[in-house]
Amino acid sequence: METAAFETDLSLFKYDNLEQLPPAYRDLDADERTERIESALETLGDDVVILGHNYQRQEIVEHADFIGDSYQLSKEAAQSDADYVIFGGVTFMAESADIITDDDQSVILPSMEASCPMAGMAEALQVDAAWAELTAALDDDEEIIPITYMNSYADLKAFCAEQGGLVCTSSNAHKAFEYAFEKGDKVLFLPDKHLGENTAHRLDMADETVEWDPWDAEGTDAADAVENDVILWEGYCQVHERFREHHIKSIREDYPDANVIVHPECRREVVEAADVSGSTSTICESVAEADPGETWAIGTEIHLTHHLQRWHPDVNVVPLCGDACMDCNAMRQIDPNYLAWVLEELVAGRERNVIEVAPEEKELAQVAMDRMLEI
């Protein structure tokens, strides 16, 4: 039953969205598009830098100056002298780049449809309401510290800074927890409950967690929630949440010697069943350092798996489940036709889809990110 429902959900996904493009860009064939992108890049020269997230399709990353995860790419943009930063990612990533780049650099998102569903699961009004309930339920001598995963909007990062909290990545979430418990008594972790739960397990705090569902009016009472040390926001990555234990079982049947590696945004039971759990960097490094002929089954977004297959042909890199199962619909909205459009608009002197974080919000979000760097 679970598999059938899962397939139905996937059939509803919208993988390409070209309706917002000017008509002349909707039907470009691959050769013409590549030629026009390369021509625009030649004209723009050092004035533009293209960032390609690991989860982007090959037609995007082949034009990228840098390929990596979101925060790594933002740092590359900040260190460049380019006037224009084209971010082949999703909205929160472009926001992060705008936060840490110079004011005279413009960050452009090729398609405004590329909006991370998980980031949208923790909106400001919901978080403010939850915070009011939770803090009111605390004892007078208790303090709760919010932590947000990097995969969140700038306003949530700013909120965490205001409340004494910080940002984390999947590789340093445990350090963020330690920082928070040095400052306060409890942690509110947003927006990814799976990363929060897996981090709590890593710190031997599995029995001290509770989920907070902002959509469930009859859910956990605030007074009951604050009896726990770790409160997990009801949010998740729609790609990593799809992986199941039976996917790992099937891989082990097909590839008995396979090493299974998954992202810590996956469900707890999937992480427990895997051989390795780690950030995108850990996944990439594991495959890069593998011996020729080894098999690595990857539990993360499918385009990174495809990149690893191309980059390391001597290693047998296989997806943990089918291509559709591992596809990020938000990333798919960055169609290469959009890249051609925003580049040619820059050549014509027009900036499209500029991502700008409000100054006060930007300053606070930077504080939350600086605290992460301190740890």
Binding residues for [4Fe-4S] cluster: 116, 237, 328
What's the first-to-final CA gap in the chain, in angstroms?
44
CB 92 within 8 A of CB 152: yes
219 phi-psi bin (left φ>0, alpha ψ -120 to 50, beta other)? beta
For residues 128, 133, 139, 142, the Cα torsion angle rounded to the nearest 10 degrees is -30
CB 205 within 8 A of CB 163: no
Give the annotated binding-site residues. 53, 70, 116, 149-151, 170, 237, 263-265, 280, 328
Q: Are strands 106-108 and 166-168 parallel, antiparallel or unpaired?
A: unpaired
CB 26 within 8 A of CB 18: yes
Amino acid at 140: D
- ∠ CA 115-91-87, rounded to 5°: 125
Q: Which of 55, 108, 58 is nearest to 82 (CA)?
A: 108
Centre a 10 Å sphere on the Cβ of residue 112 and count the other Cβ atoms it contains: 15
> What are the start-end ranges of the H helices in the chain?
2-11, 30-44, 58-61, 70-79, 91-100, 124-137, 154-162, 173-183, 193-202, 222-225, 245-254, 268-273, 280-288, 302-311, 329-332, 336-347, 359-374
- Decide: helix, strand or coil at residue 183: helix
CB 55 within 8 A of CB 19: no
Partners of 277 in the β-ladder: 262
Give the annotated binding-site residues for iminosuccinate. 53, 70, 149-151, 170, 263-265, 280
Q: Please, which contacts does 248-252 make with residues 24 or more away whose CB atoms are closer than 8 Å?
A: 248/273, 248/274, 248/297, 248/299, 248/320, 249/273, 251/297, 251/318, 251/320
